[in-house]
Structure 1
């Protein structure tokens, strides 16, 4: 009888813990201000209406490092689509995936995010889980679309967060290695100098956003994952 009672108490405790975790997750999501991006997303939708939507392109999504990348200049002969919105996190690209990504039915998606996420307090594990959720949402609709995660970059202004960023990169790289339609493009190591720190010449005055030289490194890093036809 005592054993049965003990099992029932343990079961109730597990249910309570599960309910608390679910509540915390829902609360965290509700606190995230997705509405701040509504204007940016609406502008992208207007572009789609004006220019039309064609399947099979190469879509770049993520934060300001994507938004500020002049993709048409770097890839004049490829069907590139820029859907970067500055300041965004992985969860933002996931939340707006249907409006931002899925309707384009891209052959390849390049995602850069995680940088702002960590700067705002997310842990490496949380960033990796956010990426997993992004993949789940995209692959549910587009199971054969390749998703390439551009590693969180080192920067002068956020160098104090380097350890967390490296851990996040490691966890996401491990995820990518387990899936045929995922890939990891490393920009971390090539952006470091001989002293093991970010190369100053790659950055604008703010120490965060990149100059042309930085984007040349990115271009080389993602080259193996661009469609050949």
Structure 2
């Protein structure tokens, strides 16, 4: 149960910061840095307890990699979505709703952007937080947080830069994204997580009993 609570709390603060900085027009370009920093902080805080996923796509990738029990997959994802939803309600209370209307997105570019940067995030997570080669490192949180920061700067204007189905739920509840677009995030994010896990297995056969070249 403590794992699920940590996932809820970490996702809550990630989505809370997303909402407060994106809704605030004064945050500007610093919003991406604040978001990435929040993820980094929460990963360091909760990583030793739950793994610090805070993202259903990451949970899927870590499960495919073999570092998350199947029984924990659904509870992790549910906890993450609950945390994101609670954060959306908190942002609405604190800010009184978005000051900018949800924008329209182009479906093709949005799906590709969400897939690519979710893939990057999940691939980084698998390599710095689950790999035997990098076990015991102290940079895992920094690498993960800055991956999201990079994605927010590079692709935020294309799709909204969720890279996380729980975040997509949160920003939809806040009115920062249209519910009609939720499927774009779900498809792109989960596809990115799956591809990251498959590539990780392909380039790390020694961790699965295979032969290295």
Instruction: Give the structure-2-normalised TM-score.
Output: 0.29
More strand by share: 1
More helix by share: 2
Larger radius of gyration: 1
By relative contact order (CA 8 Å, sep 6+), the higher-ranking structure is: 2
Instruction: Give the structure-1-normalised TM-score.
Output: 0.28
